[in-house]
Amino acid sequence: AQPLLIVRDLKKHFPVRSSPLDRERKFVHAVDGVNFSVPKGKTLGIVGESGCGKSTTARLVARLMPADAGELIFDGEGVEEFRGLRLKEFRRNLQMVFQDSFASLNPRLTIAETIAYGPRVHGIARADHQARELLDRVGLDPSHFAGRYPHELSGGQRQRVNIARALAFDPRLVILDEAVAALDKSVQAQVLNLLQELKAERQLTYLFISHDLHVVHYLSDYVMVMYLGQVIESGPVERIYGHPAHPYTRALLSAVPSMDPEHRTQASPLAGDPPNPINPPSGCRFRDRCPHAHAVCASATPALRDMGRHSEHLAACHLNDPASGHPEAHQEQRP
């Protein structure tokens, strides 16, 4: 499938101060040269520990904040060029659902008003009728829920309203940032199934950000692993979960019970916290925590490399580069 979204060399840094008296301006490179694409009708899962840049990446893509550098291409066109109606259309086509289902709902609007609000200001006719249809679609009986207020709903019901509200714009790309994280397991399963159905029905494309590797496995076609603002591995979901090539991905997967039986025995669990993002280590940013770190890992930054025959599988680790000079490097591309 053609990519719906292409992201090229996306960068964002934030100024930070260690104390109010600190005169020196320091920066966190929250997103530091991120590249990826998402095919139409597919889901890209983005994983990594908190602070790795997942949410910032999502917000940059949604243009909720400006990037320092980089290019966004939406359905073949540069988003930077969008003005006026084109920009409005792009904003309609891209909807976000966040974790906190309460904060994103106006407490003074009924559920039906909330869902109809967006389409109405965007000039979509029949907004009220459509709101009732969407409520039905997300499993909330409109005759029971349409006139209610957010505080009268459970967290799971509110998150369904948020999804209905996003769908009311008839978007093409939906960014879900920890959108099911706060829900209990059975409600979470219902919402995940709903997302899968809607994806198939409407050819929706998802960017799915989550710290839950089970959920990412269930929903995603592709997975991208981030560490300290950079992509360190990406590829088709079964490939990444079955044959992770980066020690960080292996450590993440090994920490999840019942996941990755093949590699769990080979990987050491993740030790320590990510290093200070203001002063990331030279070379490979994972080296302080990597059981395979070697001198070359401090002196040279590993590039994202194609893992061979599985051409969509990329990883950034010297172990996977026969020419890196790492003594444990695989001398051939692994099958």
Q: Which residues bind ligand SF4 (CB under 6 A)?
A: 246-247, 284, 286-287, 290, 292-293, 297, 302, 317-319
Question: With CB under 5 A as the contact rule, which of the stretches 55-63, 198-206, 244-252, 273-281 interacts with Mg ion?
Answer: 55-63
Residues 265-324 that bind Mg ion (CB under 5 A): none
Side by side, the strands of the sheet bearing 314-315 are 94-97, 173-177, 205-209, 43-47, 222-227, 230-236, 314-315, 305-306
- Residue linked to tokens 């983005």: 46
Minimum CB separation of residue 54 from Mg ion in Å reads 6
Minimum CB separation of residue 267 from ligand SF4 in Å reads 12
Residues 166-205 that bind Mg ion (CB under 5 A): none
Minimum CB separation of residue 41 from ligand SF4 in Å reads 33
Residue closer to ligand SF4 by CB (options 48, 171) is: 48
Residue closer to ligand SF4 by CB (options 235, 302) is: 302
Q: In terms of Cα–Cα distance, which of 192, 173, 26 is closest to 94?
A: 173
Name which of ligand SF4, Mg ion, none residue 319 binds, using a CB cut-off of 5 to 8 Å depending on partner kind.
ligand SF4
Taking the CA atoms of 101, 102, 104 and 105 in sequence, report the sign of the dihedral they define: positive
Minimum CB separation of residue 258 from Mg ion in Å reads 25
Distance of CA 214 to the CA centre of its chain: 14
Minimum CB separation of residue 209 from ligand SF4 in Å reads 23
* 55 binds Mg ion per the rule CB under 5 A: yes
Task: Give how many residues touch Mg ion by CB under 5 A.
Answer: 1
Residue closer to ligand SF4 by CB (options 222, 286) is: 286
Question: With CB under 5 A as the contact rule, which of the stretches 48-56, 76-84, 102-110, 126-134 interacts with Mg ion?
Answer: 48-56
Residue closer to ligand SF4 by CB (options 92, 250) is: 250
* 230 binds Mg ion per the rule CB under 5 A: no
Residue closer to Mg ion by CB (options 55, 234) is: 55
Q: Per the structure block, which two tokens stand in for 77?
A: 């066109």
Minimum CB separation of residue 243 from Mg ion in Å reads 27
Question: With CB under 5 A as the contact rule, which of the stretches 47-55, 150-158, 192-200, 313-321 interacts with Mg ion?
Answer: 47-55
Residue 70, classed as helix, strand or coil, is strand
CA dist., res. 104 & res. 97, Å (int): 9
Q: Per the structure block, which two tokens stand in for 333?
A: 């591309």
Q: Per the structure block, which two tokens stand in for 51?
A: 């602070």
Residue closer to Mg ion by CB (options 55, 320) is: 55
Residue 223, classed as helix, strand or coil, is strand
- Residue linked to tokens 């790795």: 52
Name which of Mg ion, ligand SF4, none residue 42 binds, using a CB cut-off of 5 to 8 Å depending on partner kind.
none
- Residue linked to tokens 């940059």: 60
Name which of ligand SF4, Mg ion, none residue 244 binds, using a CB cut-off of 5 to 8 Å depending on partner kind.
none
The Cα-based distances of 15 to 32, 68, 69 in angstroms read 14, 12, 16
Minimum CB separation of residue 209 from Mg ion in Å reads 7
Q: In terms of Cα–Cα distance, which of 232, 199, 197, 191 is closest to 215?
A: 191
Minimum CB separation of residue 237 from ligand SF4 in Å reads 21
- Residue linked to tokens 């998402």: 38
CA dist., res. 21 & res. 24, Å (int): 9
Query: What HEC string does 253-269 produce?
Result: HHCCCCCCHHHHCCCCC
Binding residues vs Mg ion (CB under 5 A) = 55
